[in-house]
Structure 1
């Protein structure tokens, strides 16, 4: 994990580090598959295996709020495995024939690929469709294969409470004021994909966004290319070498620390709602504004990018089916988001008018559930895995070299990766309000 103070390393070193981390993650994934095999060999039944991305404190909270109540009620043991490289872990598990019974992933595109290979089990009889809007339980070949356990709102920019709101546009025009960290282990680059996705959504609306996220709008189109160049100018790519190196060498969760440095080294962060619970934004009493107010050329009205932790079933054992019903219940979802200060989009898990909480949290929840707003799922998460991963890597390469010829090469390559007919694309990624 790179720290912000290591700014003098070359961008090329960052790219090599990203690829090295990916190789290491793949090795760890093979080890994890062996662990799952060992657990099952013990014959401790009834047992259900669960893979998700929560580790450390988050894993402890998840166990306390969601898993332990299930174990007490159903007398079923949950063997939980948390990994920040869960995509690699799951891939290795599937390859060795030892996949978990239940998995929680952030990418519907990745889940769609597994469903296309008939490695997921339909959930039609285990969840109630009326509990979730169709944008969250997108049908595939007539069946539902996943549902959201937790959701986050994107398309927002955080700023310290001390900042006069009337100065935000002026501040946004200075690249040095944006807090940006591109590092995230095996998934490095995703903060850049979030930027480009949101810019496209705000500049051209949900129609263009959805065509692109479904593989029907070329990466080389004027709309998509404009989103990349807009982000490059905001991030200082091309003319601010120190800023680019800082972004490439900073882990995404460390970017916020620059807000509370003495003196502050940045004051705006384009990041999802979860970032408000990290220490720096708590200390800065973080406020938010819709990104549409700060993105140059934004024309969309009330359009929001969203993301979620999605639950899917690989083995339909009685224990796994019981866990799916539990995770899809209003009670479990309410308990989890209360522990994590997150959000649920389950119709029955919403807070009552008497519930108290931070004003920013209530406001974000209302936006996330607003039936008149347009919500679009994170485009890279909705894309086939190989396209998603190449997109993330391309954002790193673009920051290091934002030249037009290099950008054209990156976009041409992404078009070639998006073209095979064997890829599984989602039927939709946006709802369109009421």
Structure 2
């Protein structure tokens, strides 16, 4: 019998009006003891090494790591009773390289660079995933077979890069004018051990939008010289857009600003900058773009004044397997599942391209829904970030050259010559393809 609102319940015949609370207290104490005992058993089992454990290395730290643990890791641990020993690092490539060299690599790794992963695959550090992952769930541009016919990775999340962000209250004409003023661009080249990659994104996207995916893919595969007219034009176009070698204060700001802080001036009054050429992930984590209701448009329209050619630069966090333990195999299957992909995408950390996951949720804002649909558009051509697809040595040199060029554009010839020389070094591993076929 339910209690009457605002008063005590009427006692049933033969019962006490105020029953003793001792049984409830006893139950509570026993439950607490059992919970503590269970926790102690779990700790003891882990300490004895009896609970299955899988080691996982990825680049999510801080708030991103907490979100990843809650959305993805903890549900896996509860479901399979497998402990995930997670390590997050902003210098993930360096950590993985050191671990591999020491002979103690993690079981599973999430890494952004397919070029780096292709090298590990060539060295037999990666294991094929065909029996664990259905390639059709992601498509050939994301779960890409290498020259040996095996698939070694799949995306846990994806992002779109051929876009420019702007505040919602900035109209089309104002955006067109701002695009030709270097001071209007929010630019930050800093990223710790990987500083310079925001500049490589500019150059890659300009090349893709101006010359199309055929030329882009030739270059990303090492078949088009850095000193070619097309590649050189991409560098000089970026120079003119952001004022490389121009206003010392502007250049200094770009070189010293971390990429995640580049858009902060967009909230100032008057605005310190108006446009940002940056991947889709920046809208999810950047309070600056949230504060000004950031929108986006295809980069081709602003960078080149041309209609979008339905070619998009994309990036992804790619999952690979280094040890085929039972626990690691279960984690791979789980991360490739629609449930895990949906859970991580729901955190707005990126987008899932899994065919079993709806492109966008019913509560997603219009800008996020549009980005998701573009990433899944089968009529469009999606080309993986070229520097991420290049061999690690070339990728790193490219990022360093972007920093040097921003400060000293007159050194372009020397920079391109050095990149050509490095790209022709024997023993480098180049991907067979970086673009999907489109329609």
Whether the TM-score (by the shorter chain) exceeds 0.5 is: yes
Q: Distance in 1 between matches of 2:53 and 2:297?
A: 45
Report the CA distance between 1:241 and its aligned residue: 1.5
Matches within 5 A, 1:231-246: 231-246=238-253
Would the aligned equivalents of 1:182 and 1:396 in 2 still touch at CA under 8 Å?
yes
Show the counterpart of 1:36: none
Q: Match for 2:123 among 117, 125, 139?
A: 117
Would the aligned equivalents of 1:384 and 1:423 in 2 still touch at CA under 8 Å?
yes
Residue 422 of structure 2 corresponds to residue 417 of structure 1: yes
Matches within 5 A, 1:266-285: 266-277=273-284, 278-285=286-293
Show the counterpart of 2:408: 401
Report the CA distance between 1:42 and its aligned residue: 6.6
Distance 1:183 1:327, change over 3 A: same
Q: Report the number of matched residues.
A: 392
1:301 is paired with a residue whose SS is coil
Q: Deviations over 1:105-141 (max 9, x none)?
A: 0000000000000000000100001101101011011
2:436 is paired with a residue whose SS is coil
Q: Distance in 1 between matches of 2:152 and 2:349?
A: 26
Q: Match for 2:434 among 404, 424, 429?
A: 429
For the pair shown, the structure with the greater C-alpha radius of gyration is: 2
Matches within 5 A, 1:100-111: 100-111=106-117
Q: Distance in 1 between matches of 2:305 and 2:208?
A: 11
Q: Deviations over 1:216-236 (max 9, x none)?
A: 000000000000000011110
Q: Distance in 2 between matches of 1:82 and 1:291?
A: 32
1:192 is paired with a residue whose SS is helix
1:230 is paired with a residue whose SS is helix
Q: Match for 1:78 among 75, 78, 84?
A: 84
1:340 is paired with a residue whose SS is coil
Would the aligned equivalents of 2:387 and 2:395 in 1 still touch at CA under 8 Å?
yes
Show the counterpart of 1:342: 350
Distance 1:297 1:157, change over 3 A: closer
Q: Distance in 1 between matches of 2:71 and 2:246?
A: 48
Residue 300 of structure 2 corresponds to residue 292 of structure 1: yes
Report the CA distance between 1:240 and its aligned residue: 1.6
Q: Distance in 2 between matches of 1:42 and 1:187?
A: 39
Show the counterpart of 1:128: 134
Report the CA distance between 1:170 and its aligned residue: 1.1
Report the CA distance between 1:302 and its aligned residue: 1.1
Report the CA distance between 1:261 and its aligned residue: 1.8
CA RMSD of aligned residues (A): 1.4
Residue 155 of structure 2 corresponds to residue 171 of structure 1: no
Report the CA distance between 1:295 and its aligned residue: 1.4
Q: Distance in 1 between matches of 2:307 and 2:50?
A: 57
Report the CA distance between 1:258 and its aligned residue: 1.1
Q: Distance in 1 between matches of 2:241 and 2:93?
A: 31
Show the counterpart of 2:29: none
Q: Distance in 1 between matches of 2:426 and 2:124?
A: 17
Matches within 5 A, 1:18-417: 43=49, 45-140=51-146, 141-277=148-284, 278-296=286-304, 298=306, 301-351=309-359, 355-403=362-410, 406-417=411-422
Q: Distance in 2 between matches of 1:357 and 1:272?
A: 18
2:358 is paired with a residue whose SS is coil
Would the aligned equivalents of 1:375 and 1:430 in 2 still touch at CA under 8 Å?
yes
Return 5+ residue gaps in structure 2 as ranges: 1-45
2:315 is paired with a residue whose SS is strand
Q: Distance in 2 between matches of 1:166 and 1:247?
A: 25
Would the aligned equivalents of 1:203 and 1:299 in 2 still touch at CA under 8 Å?
no
Distance 1:42 1:416, change over 3 A: farther
The TM-score, its normalising length taken from structure 1, stands at 0.88
- Structure 1 segments, 4+ long, off by >4 Å, are 297-300
2:266 is paired with a residue whose SS is helix
Would the aligned equivalents of 2:110 and 2:317 in 1 still touch at CA under 8 Å?
yes
The TM-score, its normalising length taken from structure 2, stands at 0.87
Distance 1:341 1:422, change over 3 A: closer
1:223 is paired with a residue whose SS is helix
Q: Distance in 1 between matches of 2:107 and 2:101?
A: 15
Q: Deviations over 1:270-318 (max 9, x none)?
A: 0001111210000010010100001137576111000000000000111
